[in-house]
Copies of this chain bind each other. A is one copy, B any other.
Amino acid sequence: MVAEKLRIGIAGLGRMGKRHAINFHELTARANVVAASTPDPNERKWATEALEGIEIFDDYDEMLEKANLQAVVVASITAVHAEQTLKAIKRGLHVICEKPISIDIEVAQSVVTAYEESLKTHPKQKVMCAFSRRFDESYREAHNRVQNGEFGSPVFFRSQTADLYDSSDFFAEYAKTSGGIFVDCSIHDIDLMLWFLGEDRRIKSLQAVGVCAVHPGLVASNDRDNAIATVEFEGEKIAALYCSRMMAAGQEDTSEIICEWGSVRVNMQVRKNHVEYHDSQGVRRELPQHYYERFREAFITEASEFTACCLDDTPPPISLQSSVKAVSIGQALQRSLISGEKIFFD
């Protein structure tokens, strides 16, 4: 039934904002994008063509004021995620915010607090951070199987986010504000780590090391292009992470959950589709070239499920507090990466 449609406003129409806009507007049966706001005139021009009949604003506050919204997608630059989310929370609107809410943990935590307060007066309000990988069909099946206890308790979680090499200077520039490779690249792996090992599980220690192998310019920003980390949890659980911006073949995001009497692997045979080529070089398959190519379906599912939880008043698929915890772990790993010190938590 497509009786009621959630009225959504999109804040920010950059690369991810455009994708969210299309996914909610065209591919989410129960949602309508009714407004969008962006300070960028090119993005507004795109919206007039691509999102028929919606209201377009150059100012986020004005959109909140004038458009008749039930929910907001915050897909603007990271620097304003927290502020825009807070403003929407105050108006009682549902919010799905691109990750991270903030790279300043205190600010991020203040958003969680504001949401908890708001729930007292708007008990049906939904606020979540867009950790798309939790909506991927394969990760979900893996999580269900592990949760069902089919393989015993998870012991070791290993995961990586490895991006295709980008020969442009983009990363060196981007690294200045990204929060570093563990906050930027590994944040999904950290989120999955919490999802599989326990969102409330206490960390005993963590450490990271890394190198600048192909992007020497990253050193100036206290960043690296390949890095590895280990995390030690209470309750006899460990995790290992790898992040890279140097892959030759494509996006190689893999995860392994090794449990007491079995294990589950996601995407270990990374592939773009069902095709293999046999030629004089051997047998070859191709890879997705970027994150969105690998996880497009997960983003569509995310849009659909966020919409459903708002309309049906069911719990948000991801806890906001857990999303803040993921960022704080990413930051601790980044500190260890740069200082070389192992960090212990008492």
Contact = CB atoms under 8 A, between A and B. Distances in A.
6 contacts: A1-B50, A27-B29, A138-B273, A155-B226, A264-B276, A265-B275
Given A155-B226, A275-B266, A287 B280 contact: no
Contact of A280 (B1, B248, B266): B248
A209 B228 contact: no
Secondary structure call for the A interface: mixed
A209 B205 contact: yes
Given A156-B242, A238-B210, A283 B261 contact: no
Given A228-B238, A238-B226, A271-B283, A278 B247 contact: yes
Interface residues of A, number: 83
A248 B155 CA distance: 13
Q: Which 8 A-B pairs have the closest CB atoms?
A: A26-B29, A262-B279, A138-B274, A211-B236, A282-B286, A249-B278, A267-B274, A155-B213
Contact of A282 (B27, B208, B244, B250): B250
Given A211-B236, A230-B230, A263-B277, 5 more contacts: A27-B29, A138-B274, A209-B238, A249-B279, A250-B282
A232 B145 CA distance: 35
B283 A138 contact: no
A260 to B, nearest CB: 6
A25 interface: yes
Contacts of A264: 275-278
A344 B279 CA distance: 34
A280 B250 CA distance: 8
A246 B278 CA distance: 12
B262 A278 contact: yes
A274 B158 CA distance: 16
A25 B285 CA distance: 35
Contact of A269 (B155, B246, B262, B269): B269
A260 B275 contact: no
